[in-house]
């Protein structure tokens, strides 16, 4: 669908039936926004996101939106967010 006011919010933690990176690569062209999470749902199991692989997919797409980050679960949110942001920035290098 080619609509100015319609698009996908790409939540990378939402893919659970197949390889999440394959699914992300299929859907990112429809994304108008995304959410980077610490984990991906890899065939039903939570695994740390492969940020290098994810950033390569994003670079290879025509994605033009923001990439907000999200952390979940226990722990100090200030430490979790700053640590995850540092890992995201390192993956962008």
3-class DSSP assignment, residue 15: coil
Distance CA 20, CA 5 (A): 26
Residue of 38, 39, 41, 34 lying closest to 57 (CA atoms)? 34
Average pLDDT, 10 consecutive residues per value, the chain (93 residues): 78 85 92 91 88 94 88 91 95 90
Q: What is the pTM of this model?
A: 0.84
Q: Identify whether the C-beta of residue 53 lies closer than 8 Å to the C-beta of residue 92.
A: no
- The pair of structure tokens assigned to 69 is 């980050």
First to last CA, the chain: 33
């Amino acid at each position: 669908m080619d609509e100015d006011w319609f698009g996908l919010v790409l939540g990378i933690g939402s893919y659970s039936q197949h390889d999440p990176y394959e699914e992300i690569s299929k859907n990112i062209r429809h994304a108008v926004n995304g959410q980077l999470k610490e984990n991906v749902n890899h065939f039903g199991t939570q695994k740390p996101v492969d940020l290098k692989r994810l950033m390569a997919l994003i670079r290879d797409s025509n994605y033009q939106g923001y990439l907000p980050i999200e952390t979940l679960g226990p722990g100090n949110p200030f430490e979790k967010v700053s640590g995850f942001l540092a890992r995201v920035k390192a993956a962008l290098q």
